[in-house]
């Protein structure tokens, strides 16, 4: 029996995420905040597709969202939210990045986007304790995300690699990938058809009143 390397189980989990969400590619990460950062950083600094440094963000959302916008070298443009809650996915316009922390369902993928998923915490549809992913149909972005999450490394021994890219330590631990792969079965019916999940709705504080995000 051939021995699997540490990347194989993550690849299997990513393939299952792609199949379920309808995306061409999935890139598993250690959390969704880092998924947002990589997706925004890619659009601003690698693809250079943004025509504005300002990115729309709901005034009421999880605090890491404006953090990652700023970390990527962009500025936050808070948009008003009626009521105390937000529900489902939203776009960080004018980028093609979507915060999908509160949405995880069958065939959810929106073409030409980088949708960031969250598996962290007790409220998420897929509960892995910690974890996230980017789903996309952009082949070049997928290649960059996979190396960026792994300190710029290719998926081989660092003794065999040729280091030519800076990256971050954002990869998903294989133990979590294995758990995620096993838990994905809950989203299928006995006949193999996909189950659809309701969007989550959660309350968040009004972040627009804090000076720290107005850099």
Residue 35, pLDDT score: 99
Q: Which of 87, 78, 97 is nearest to 207 (CA)?
A: 78
Domain boundaries, the chain: 8-213
Instruction: Give the per-residue pLDDT at 162.
Output: 85
Q: DSSP 3-state assignment of 163?
A: coil
pLDDT confidence of residue 151: 84
pTM greater than 0.85 (yes/no): yes
Contact (CB, 8 A) for 58 and 103: no
At residue 2, the pLDDT reads 61
What SS3 class is residue 139? Answer: helix
Give all strands (DSSP E) within the chain, no chain letters.
25-29, 54-58, 75-79, 85-87, 90-91, 97-100, 114-118, 132-136, 201-203
- Three-state DSSP state, 99: strand
- Average pLDDT along the chain, 215 residues, taken 10 residues at a time: 77 98 99 99 98 97 98 98 97 99 99 99 96 99 97 81 91 97 98 98 98 91
Using alpha carbons only, give the angle 78, 30, 162 rounded to the nearest 5 degrees: 110
Q: What's the CATH architecture for 8-213?
A: 3-Layer(aba) Sandwich (3.40)
Which whole-number Å values give the CA distances from 115 to 43, 81, 160, 193, 207, in the listed order? 13, 21, 32, 23, 22
Between the alpha carbon of residue 71 and those of residues 22, 58, 196, 202, 204, the distances in Å are: 29, 17, 34, 25, 21
């Amino acid at each position: 029996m051939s021995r699997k390397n540490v990347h194989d189980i993550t690849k299997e989990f990513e393939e299952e995420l792609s199949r379920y969400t309808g995306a061409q590619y999935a890139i598993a990460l250690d959390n969704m905040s880092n998924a947002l950062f990589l997706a925004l950083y890619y659009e601003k600094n690698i693809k250079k597709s943004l025509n504005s440094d300002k990115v729309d963000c709901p005034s009421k959302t999880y605090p890491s969202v404006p953090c990652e916008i700023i970390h990527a070298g962009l500025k936050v443009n808070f948009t008003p939210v009626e009521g105390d809650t937000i529900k489902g996915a939203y776009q960080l316009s004018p980028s093609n990045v979507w915060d999908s922390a509160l949405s995880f369902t069958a065939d959810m993928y929106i073409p030409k986007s980088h949708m960031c998923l969250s598996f962290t915490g007790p409220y998420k549809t897929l509960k892995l304790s910690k974890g996230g992913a980017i789903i996309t149909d952009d082949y070049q972005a997928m290649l960059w995300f996979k190396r960026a999450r792994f300190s710029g490394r290719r998926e081989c021994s660092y003794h065999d690699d040729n280091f030519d890219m800076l990256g971050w330590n954002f990869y998903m631990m294989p133990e979590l990938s294995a758990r995620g792969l096993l838990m994905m079965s809950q989203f299928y019916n006995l006949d193999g058809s996909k189950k659809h999940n309701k969007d989550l709705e959660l309350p968040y504080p009004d972040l627009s009143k804090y000076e720290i995000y107005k850099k």
